[in-house]
């Protein structure tokens, strides 16, 4: 009977070792994600370009459930570009297969038109390439 209990305890411990709530230790796939914008992911960080908007953030750790959130910066860069540091923003996302739903929430939205949170859907297109800012 004791051997059965020990075996059951070992089986239970092994089953609980990798629960969905644990961080998966994965990161966003390096390369280019395109769709509602363009996200370039490389070892040195992530660059988001959406029209005249530009965001930067470190490569986030993706949890086992495919979600992440990380702090970075985001600003709309139309006309003369400010030399001041870009305002802070939070980038949160959900990865489902090759699709990334990314939400950008500026901490000071006073300089942004429209909603305070911006939502983008991007598809992974692979390595290489990069994102080009369309505005000057």
Residue 2 falls inside a structural domain: no
Position 24 scores a pLDDT of 52
70, 60 contact by CB (below 8 A): yes
Residue 56 falls inside a structural domain: yes
- The residues, any chain, with a CB within 8 Å of residue 106's CB and separated by 6 or more, are 74, 87, 88, 89, 112, 116
Residue 9 falls inside a structural domain: no
Residue 31 falls inside a structural domain: yes
87, 75 contact by CB (below 8 A): yes
Residue 14 falls inside a structural domain: no
Position 117 scores a pLDDT of 78
Residue 131 falls inside a structural domain: no
Residue 132 falls inside a structural domain: no
Where in the sequence is the domain holding 52, given as residue range(s)?
A: 21-126
Residue 83 falls inside a structural domain: yes
Position 106 scores a pLDDT of 87
pTM over 0.75: no
39-77 residue pLDDT tens: 999 989 999 999 888 899 999 999 999 999 999 999 887
How many domains is the chain built from? 1
pLDDT at 98 over 80: yes
């Amino acid at each position: 009977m004791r051997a059965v209990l020990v075996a059951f305890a070992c089986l239970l411990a092994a089953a609980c070792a990798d629960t969905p709530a644990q961080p998966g230790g994965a990161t966003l796939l390096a390369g280019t994600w395109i769709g509602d914008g363009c996200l370039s992911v490389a070892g040195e960080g992530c660059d988001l370009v959406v029209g005249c908007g530009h965001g930067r953030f470190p490569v986030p750790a993706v949890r086992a459930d495919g979600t992440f959130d990380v702090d970075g910066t985001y600003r709309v860069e139309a006309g003369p570009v400010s030399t001041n540091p870009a305002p802070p923003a939070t980038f949160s996302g959900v990865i489902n297969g090759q699709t990334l739903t990314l939400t950008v929430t500026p901490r000071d939205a006073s300089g942004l038109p429209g909603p305070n949170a911006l939502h983008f859907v991007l598809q992974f297109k692979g390595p290489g390439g990069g994102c080009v800012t369309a505005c000057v």
